[in-house]
Homo-oligomer: A and B are copies of this chain.
């Protein structure tokens, strides 16, 4: 079995959601919200609900519609829910590692959904284990709930704040107690989290694209270093930390987020369209048509076409039905996976000078296969434009990155990459161009570490271990 849906892209780790309402069905809202956040994680899904006394969680491996095929969690008087979709960044693909995590502690029950990656989780966990703690999963969210449970602070709010002060790295959280829905975003604001509302109904969501389907309107983003507590008194804000410079992940705008989301005031589509426009200006590429590698390159491609006046045409068709497939090992060798997913439209590309736009190049193998495919279909020339700079450095903040040596841009120049993928020309968007694309948000508040090696939070020393999602599983070996 091969998962040919697995792209050569970097993977965003998770989507989180929370709903508080005495009038609406919070479980259904969360279910619909997770549907809209499915692009952030397809490995597992979970929903926890409470009626103020009991708390229940339902989790499983697979897409939201697979996990909740027959039913969604339901309690008669449920009024708070949190949900999670996951692409594994820490921990193996095990049922035990699915979220939300639901635990008992001295203060009651809490359920927690987490998006991000803690850079000092391994160290804290080791310390806790030395003090006699056990760990039943290999996800760093379990460190979080242990910190909360061990806090001597009086209120749950203070317990969470105290815990967050010990934690470093990237995290957004939606936490549910028996009577509160709590959201928090790390001081750098690596990952997005926004607030939606309709009357007394409140929602927390990784992205604003999930708000309308949940029936609420966008209020604002949770601020970096802010915790919001929603209960019967409404929403209360706590500022638990400030840092000199915020560091929102710029890759959310390049690839992760859905184009119809707005993050920190910046429309994702607008940013991505502008990347395409600036690409056109920077590259000065000419050709007969602009095509995209669907779907991730399409917005920038339309921007390129807009700026250059060269028409945008579909040149590659993406099979919409790809999932886990049953392919024999011998078949795999023959590029079947890419062929199943993408097919060129011969009548479009034949005898054409093509400008092809994609969002990023990680290892370069897929780009090479696509170029070969287009050439075989008769393309006269292929100029490739990438709407991000070369990725030369790994991510420690929640992206499923390979170790540095697997990143093609860590070891090859742009010209060497061009030669490797056999394109006629290759242009990467400059970092300046990228930052200029993000006009509504302050581009100084962005984390661009994967491009410029400037890490806002100290990274683990060893770059093999640091970015390793199996970190907790190796510890004891």
Contacts and interface: CB of A to CB of B under 8 A. Distances in A.
Interface string A61-86: 00111001111100000000000000
A450 to B, nearest CB: 25
A385 B246 CA distance: 45
Interface string A191-210: 00000000000000000010
A247 to B, nearest CB: 24
B305 A311 contact: yes
Contacts of A321: 35, 38-39, 42, 63-65
A113 interface: no
A311 B68 CA distance: 41
Interface in A307-333: 311-314, 317, 319-328, 331
A344 interface: yes
A134 interface: yes
Given A267-B345, A345-B260, A134 B317 contact: no
Nearest to A440: B347
A186 interface: no
A70 B311 CA distance: 44
Given A39-B321, A269-B314, A339-B213, A346 B102 contact: no
A65 B212 contact: no
B135 A32 contact: no
Contact of A36 (B108, B131, B340): B340
A298 interface: yes
Contacts of A138: 104
A226 to B, nearest CB: 24
B106 A319 contact: no
Which of A102, A126, A134, A472 counts the most B-chain CB atoms under 10 A from its CB? Answer: A134
A104 B319 contact: no
Contacts of A238: none
Contacts of A319: 35-36, 38
A258 B273 CA distance: 27
A212 B267 contact: no
A132 B146 contact: yes
B213 A267 contact: no
Interface in A332-350: 334, 336, 339-340, 343-348
A432 interface: no
Contact of A105 (B135, B339, B345): B135
B476 A65 contact: no
Contacts of A298: 314
Interface in A138-182: 138, 145-146, 149-151
A401 interface: no
A323 B63 contact: yes
Interface SS of chain A? mixed
A104 B129 contact: yes
A358 interface: no
A109 interface: yes
A472 B54 CA distance: 12
Which of A109, A322, A343 counts the most B-chain CB atoms under 10 A from its CB? Answer: A343
Interface string A259-275: 11010000101100100
A476 to B, nearest CB: 5
A106 B311 CA distance: 60
Which of A68, A132, A273 counts the most B-chain CB atoms under 10 A from its CB? Answer: A132
A29 B307 CA distance: 43
The 8 closest A-B pairs by CB, nearest first: A132-B150, A267-B347, A106-B129, A38-B321, A103-B134, A260-B317, A134-B149, A104-B135
Contact of A336 (B65, B213, B267, B320): B213
Contacts of A444: none
Contacts of A69: 324, 326
Contact of A149 (B133, B262, B306, B348): B133
Contacts of A348: 269-270
Contacts of A270: 347-348
A299 interface: yes
A243 interface: no
Contact of A259 (B133, B305, B314): B314
A476 B104 contact: yes
A89 interface: no
Contacts of A258: 317, 343
A70 B339 CA distance: 21
A468 interface: no
30 contacts: A35-B322, A35-B325, A36-B319, A42-B321, A64-B321, A65-B321, A68-B326, A101-B136, A103-B135, A104-B136, A104-B138, A104-B476, A106-B130, A108-B476, A109-B476, A132-B146, A133-B150, A209-B317, A212-B339, A212-B343, A213-B336, A260-B317, A260-B343, A260-B345, A267-B347, A269-B345, A269-B347, A302-B314, A305-B311, A305-B312
